[in-house]
Chain A
């Protein structure tokens, strides 16, 4: 298990290879990479700034990651989330899960992203032609996270 909150970019391929190096019990690795879009609705975005809560952000990500390991038989996992100023096309987030079988890797990767989006203290400020605009939380993200609560009791950690 590993969590990194950093300003710097990351190399998804290198991170995936390093995560499972030497562990030949791993049969599948699933990765999600989130990128900065150049549009928000109809508005063009010139850049984005991600704010976070140093300390709590790492704690929440570690808590979410520990829950994934309780629910699925994972050999390894990694969450990297960036903060600071990012441009369209830049990588924001990487989630990698490794397991003996693909189903655990796929499901836990999706779980981690859904929970990260509704629990981890990050806030996006988008630079548009009309000025800086804080991104509103989306109901669809809450819905995506809630389905994991229905699947198993006891995951609501807040």
Chain B
């Protein structure tokens, strides 16, 4: 599974992209965020307030109960501020 981070989420976790292999019980977006936050440090800090984390799976916005799979591209980013 490929995880992408953008804007201040990228700065807090210290990487723009990584490949991860979460355990089988990580079935949904919420599971994945919890699993990443358990790493502590910048990950725990970046994911502390879930209301500030937007999630896209395979470049489409999804909610926390959306499933995640091995070959997914999952992007985590703050609310958008373009225009």
- By a beta-carbon cutoff of 8 Å, the part of chain A in contact with chain B is 34, 50-53, 55-56, 59, 81, 92-93, 113, 116-125, 134-137, 141, 157-158
Q: Is B59 in contact with chain A by the CB < 8 A criterion?
A: yes
Q: Given A53-B6, A55-B59, A56-B59, verify A121-B80 contact (CB < 8 Å).
A: yes
Q: Is B37 in contact with chain A by the CB < 8 A criterion?
A: no
CB distance from A16 to the nearest CB of B (A): 19
Within 8 A of A (CB), among B39-83: 56, 59-61, 75, 77-83
Q: Given A92-B83, A116-B83, A120-B83, verify A134-B6 contact (CB < 8 Å).
A: no
Q: Does the CB pair B83–A51 fall under 8 Å? A: no
Within 8 A of A (CB), among B1-31: 4, 6-8
Q: Which residue of A lies closest to B11 (CB)?
A: A134
CB distance from B10 to the nearest CB of A (A): 8
- By a beta-carbon cutoff of 8 Å, the part of chain B in contact with chain A is 4, 6-8, 56, 59-61, 75, 77-83
Q: Which residues of A lie under 8 Å from residue B56 when comparing CB positions?
A: 53, 56, 121
CB distance from B55 to the nearest CB of A (A): 10
Number of A-B residue pairs at CB separation under 8 A = 73
Q: Which 3 A-B pairs have the closest CB atoms?
A: A122-B82, A137-B79, A123-B7
- Known contacts A51-B6, A56-B59, A123-B80; 16 additional CB pairs below 8 A are A50-B82, A56-B56, A59-B60, A117-B82, A118-B80, A120-B82, A120-B83, A121-B80, A123-B6, A123-B82, A124-B81, A124-B82, A125-B7, A136-B81, A137-B80, A137-B81
Q: Which residues of A lie under 8 Å from residue B8 when comparing CB positions?
A: 123, 134
Looking at chain A's contact residues, the main secondary structure is mixed
Q: Which residues of B lie under 8 Å from residue A135 when comparing CB positions?
A: 81
Partner of B82, one of A55, A116, A134: A116
**What are 29 inter-chain pairs, A to B, with CB distance below 8 A?**
A50-B82, A53-B6, A53-B77, A56-B56, A56-B59, A59-B59, A59-B60, A81-B82, A92-B83, A116-B82, A117-B80, A117-B81, A119-B80, A120-B82, A121-B56, A121-B75, A121-B80, A121-B82, A122-B80, A122-B82, A122-B83, A123-B6, A123-B80, A123-B82, A125-B7, A134-B7, A134-B78, A137-B81, A157-B61
Q: Does the CB pair A53–B82 fall under 8 Å? A: no
